[in-house]
């Protein structure tokens, strides 16, 4: 927060340079410097009065957010803070997998219950529990995410039950409570259990709350993959449910899933991948990191040991942790690597979910890298106001979205509790101020669509109330000010509170304790952080670590780009364009000449930017491929061909450029809209052109599912809001790396703006016929357009004569010297061309070679124009 090397007007801090001069001056300067240093230290600290003011501000912010949900949204799952209404699944546009968190079970209310207790809002808590017991149903015919439902709803019910039971035992409140929340948690647990009906023991990613997974009415069960975190983030909630209810089935399934993930780790690196097949346990995505897709798997290994007291979880965590620090941690960065070749980073950006990791490192007792990574994250927030959803190793925005995620506040809380350093109170204060300044709206707090523009998104996810306010309130509270002893509880990944006493007061599952593994131990293997151990007589230890990173993002001093280091990526092309493949991995592509043109003279001691050298086997084409614009033309009444939507083509499927009249059909929206599994409305879709939403799986996978369902064509619609063909370049959809010869129907792509026009037409008229074809063949287009040509003007000049300014910019210069102009006359053929003479003038053009400043002779054949016989207009 403070820069102690320069004078600050607000603090009067001076740099502590060694003084010179007489002894008296030395003493005077020394005293002045010490006083200035002491003043700086005081400004860094925070008084109890200041903490109280900020804590009251946090309560007011919570009241605004929670009150807006209860006023405008309840009993809906979430609040739409810009629209001031609730988000009800099925009544709002489908957002793909994001909506799988919504189960029509008042998600935000349940997720917020134990936050009300932590914030000492006990009357509101009792009222909210009554509402949940009376209004919430868990048997809805809705397909939900197993992972999200577990951490948000099951965790929320268990945390609220623990709080309600505690208050009831105190005899002051909740005397009416008869474990209703625990009964609801038990019901929900049983509704999630069908997801574990797989040969491997890894759960399906989705389940129907009413019909399970394999029931014909479930509309799910076709998925084959799940993320590592999705399968490995069940043990806290399921074990707590088993030990509170006495039914061991839940803990048994959660332990089995963790056993599978452990067995499937890469034995050479001890890392796990991001996505795994739930049937055979094979890795689908082998990139390994600590962010999205893996994050809470590592978190739950550590916390399962704390909650359950089972050493096997700690031993597994420590083995993984050693691998993480060896391969993934590049302080202060945390970069994804390939699990089988962990010395190779697979992408040049980080996602915001990894912000939880410094907090986990605090629990491990490894403070130095925790401080380093947290400081890096803080510098990014100072540069962009919030943590972008993803940012590059140069700390630039990769994905600009900010969903009000709490992970950075979580790590800030853990670091303050471990160090007692008031610096982290100032970090927390900045979080509070930025939320109020840039996310607050009249009906709550809105996610930021892009941190670069500050535009808002109409969503306030339930985790904002469940986690953000909990961590911020605890950061500024003394233990004596809380209604519970916070040290008696472990936070789940959704910040729900589970009592650590479960390991001793409730029996563990019998017969399913995992086999222990041998590992080397260090100072912190079995210990919680100790400030005496970590900071022996050195309260400024954390500051000395942070100071190395205070200018990391360039804020406060000139920023020097990072150096370029070369790596080689072997890439054998089998259908996907190499550049598109790299972009899908988050690798930025820069032309080599642009890199070479930059000045790298002052770049030293920086890490993270590489010059990528492609070693590729790519089929070459004579000319650079051009994206041929296609159209979706609405031809049924009332449109009659007047509505034409620009579309992008695909590199596989039917080639519409070879179809004289295009492909005609009526459009039907696929169900599920993302078309990443079995198509539910195949009967309705057969013989029609399908509409499908981009995302969740590859275009080729969607096309196969839709073709199998009987569709005669597909129109893919972009899932990114605001994209349009006028501002976004068209691209060709590519395959999934495998052969796509089996896909024979036409495929086109619409950006979201054009897609909205098409879906609105379908919603209004129900029966809409369209024509898919190249843009140049659209109905009603003027067929007499002249082909695009280029006129080249040649001016003969004496050597050295050049128009002023002609040498600047992109200039093509032809130099014709008199002795190099050849005029060829054909002999007159009197017998065949009586009286007629034809002459052909052929000129040899030579370009001046810039390097040797001389003119080389050219082949007359190579310079001959292909249009030389097109008449007088073709001649210069």
d(CA 588, CA 394): 12
CB 325 within 8 A of CB 334: no
Nearest to 155 by CA among 209, 127, 203, 192: 192
d(CA 155, CA 111): 8
CB 182 within 8 A of CB 137: no
CB 784 within 8 A of CB 770: no
Other CB atoms within 10 Å distance of the CB of residue 785: 8
For 549-565, give the DSSP string. Answer: GTTTTSTTSPPPPPPPE
d(CA 175, CA 163): 13
Nearest to 232 by CA among 298, 323, 150: 298
User: Six-digit token pair at 206?
Assistant: 């989705």
Nearest to 269 by CA among 231, 312, 321: 321
> Which H or E run includes 143?
strand 143-145
d(CA 146, CA 3): 47
Nearest to 97 by CA among 215, 202, 201, 220: 220
CB 204 within 8 A of CB 183: no
Please list the active-site residues. 148, 295, 389, 407
E strands along 331-428, which residues? 333-334, 337-338, 349-351, 390-392, 397-399
Backbone angles phi, psi at 219, to 5 degrees: 60, 25
Q: 3-state secondary structure string, 250-292?
A: HHHHHHHHHHHHHHCCECCCCECCCEEECCCCCEEECEECCCC
CB 94 within 8 A of CB 121: no
CB 529 within 8 A of CB 362: yes
Label the pairing between strands 689-693 and 275-277: unpaired
CB 689 within 8 A of CB 670: no
CB 70 within 8 A of CB 125: no
CB 461 within 8 A of CB 78: yes
DSSP state of 81: T
Distances in Å between the Cα of 616 and the Cα atoms of 230, 574, 650, 737 are 35, 10, 22, 14
Instruction: Specify the residue for token string 């951490």.
Output: 151
The runs of H, that is alpha helices, within 136-248 are 146-148, 155-170, 180-192, 228-232, 235-245
CB 559 within 8 A of CB 590: no
């Amino acid at each position: 927060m403070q820069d102690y090397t320069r004078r600050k007007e607000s603090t009067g801090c001076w740099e502590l340079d060694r003084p010179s001069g007489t002894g008296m001056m030395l003493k005077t300067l020394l005293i002045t410097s010490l006083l200035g240093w002491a003043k700086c230290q005081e400004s860094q600290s925070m008084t109890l009065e200041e903490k109280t003011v900020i804590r009251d501000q946090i309560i007011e912010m919570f009241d605004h957010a929670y009150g807006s949900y209860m006023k405008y949204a309840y009993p809906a799952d979430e609040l739409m803070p810009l629209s001031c209404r609730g988000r009800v699944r099925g009544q709002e546009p489908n957002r793909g997998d994001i909506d799988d968190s919504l189960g029509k079970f008042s998600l935000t209310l349940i997720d917020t219950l134990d936050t009300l207790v932590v914030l000492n809002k006990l009357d509101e808590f009792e009222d909210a529990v009554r509402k949940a017991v009376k209004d919430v149903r868990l048997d809805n015919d809705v397909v939900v995410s197993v992972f999200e439902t577990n951490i948000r709803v099951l965790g929320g019910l268990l945390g609220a039950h623990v709080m309600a039971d505690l208050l009831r035992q105190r005899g002051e409140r909740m005397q009416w409570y008869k474990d209703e929340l625990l009964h609801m948690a038990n019901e929900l647990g049983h509704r999630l259990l069908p997801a574990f009906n797989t040969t491997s023991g890894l759960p399906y990613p989705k389940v129907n709350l009413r019909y399970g997974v394999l029931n014909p009415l479930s509309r799910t069960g076709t998925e084959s993959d799940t993320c590592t975190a999705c399968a490995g983030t069940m043990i806290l909630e399921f074990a707590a449910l088993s030990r509170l209810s006495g039914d061991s089935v839940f803990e048994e399934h959660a332990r089995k899933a963790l056993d599978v993930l452990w067995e499937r780790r890469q034995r050479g690196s001890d890392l796990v991948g991001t996505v795994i097949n739930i049937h055979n346990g094979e890795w689908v995505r082998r990139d390994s990191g600590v962010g999205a897709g893996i994050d809470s798997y590592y978190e739950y290994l550590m916390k399962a040991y704390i909650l359950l007291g089972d050493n096997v979880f700690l031993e597994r965590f420590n083995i993984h942790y050693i691998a993480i620090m060896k391969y993934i941690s590049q302080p202060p960065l945390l970069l994804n690597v390939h699990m089988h070749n962990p010395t190779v980073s697979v992408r040049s950006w980080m996602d915001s979910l990894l912000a939880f990791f410094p907090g986990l490192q605090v629990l491990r007792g490894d403070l130095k890298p925790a401080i380093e990574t947290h400081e890096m994250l803080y510098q990014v927030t100072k540069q962009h106001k919030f943590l972008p959803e993803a940012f590059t190793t140069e700390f630039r925005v990769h994905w600009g979205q900010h969903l009000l995620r709490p992970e950075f506040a979580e790590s800030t809380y853990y670091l303050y509790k471990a160090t007692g350093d008031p610096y982290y109170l100032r970090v927390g204060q900045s979080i509070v101020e930025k939320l109020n300044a840039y996310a607050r709206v009249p009906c709550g707090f809105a996610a930021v669509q892009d941190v670069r523009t500050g535009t808002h998104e109409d969503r306030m996810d339930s985790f904002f109330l469940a986690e953000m306010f909990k961590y911020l309130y605890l950061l500024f509270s003394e233990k004596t000010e809380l209604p519970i002893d916070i040290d008696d509880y472990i936070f789940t990944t959704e910040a729900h509170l589970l009592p650590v006493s479960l390991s001793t007061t409730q029996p563990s599952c019998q017969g399913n304790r995992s086999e222990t593994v041998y590992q080397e131990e260090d100072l912190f293997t079995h210990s919680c952080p100790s400030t005496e151990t970590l900071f022996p007589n050195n309260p400024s230890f954390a500051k000395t670590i942070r100071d190395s990173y205070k200018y990391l993002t360039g804020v406060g001093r000139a920023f020097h780009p990072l150096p370029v280091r070369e790596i080689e990526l072997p890439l054998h092309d089998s259908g996907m364009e190499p550049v598109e493949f790299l972009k899908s991995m988050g690798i930025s592509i820069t032309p080599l000449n642009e890199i070479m043109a930059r000045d790298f003279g002052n770049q030293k001691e920086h890490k993270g930017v590489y010059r990528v050298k492609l070693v590729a086997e790519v089929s070459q084409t004579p000319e650079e491929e051009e994206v041929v614009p296609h159209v979706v033309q609405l031809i049924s009444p009332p449109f009659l061909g007047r509505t034409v939507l620009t579309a992008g083509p695909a590199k596989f499927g039917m080639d519409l450029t070879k179809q004289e009249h295009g492909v005609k059909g009526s459009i039907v929206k696929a169900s599920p809209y993302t078309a990443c599994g079995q198509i539910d409305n195949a009967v309705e879709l057969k013989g029609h052109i399908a509409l499908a939403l981009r995302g969740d799986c590859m275009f080729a996978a969607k096309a196969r599912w839709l073709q199998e369902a009987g569709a005669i064509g597909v129109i893919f619609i972009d899932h990114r809001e605001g994209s349009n063909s006028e501002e976004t370049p068209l691209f060709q959809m590519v395959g999934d790396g495998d052969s796509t010869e089996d896909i024979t129907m036409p495929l086109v792509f619409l950006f979201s703006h054009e897609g909205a026009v098409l879906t609105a037409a379908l919603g209004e008229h129900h029966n809409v016929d369209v024509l898919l074809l190249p843009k140049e063949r659209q109905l009603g287009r003027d067929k007499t357009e002249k082909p695009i040509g280029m006129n080249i003007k040649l001016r003969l000049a004496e050597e050295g004569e050049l128009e002023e300014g002609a040498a600047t910019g992109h200039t093509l210069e032809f130099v014709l010297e008199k002795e190099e102009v050849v005029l060829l006359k054909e002999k007159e053929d009197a017998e065949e061309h009586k009286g007629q003479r034809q002459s052909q003038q052929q000129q040899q053009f030579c370009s001046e070679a810039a390097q040797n400043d001389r003119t080389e002779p050219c082949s007359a054949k190579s310079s001959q124009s292909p249009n030389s016989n097109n008449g007088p207009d073709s001649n210069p």
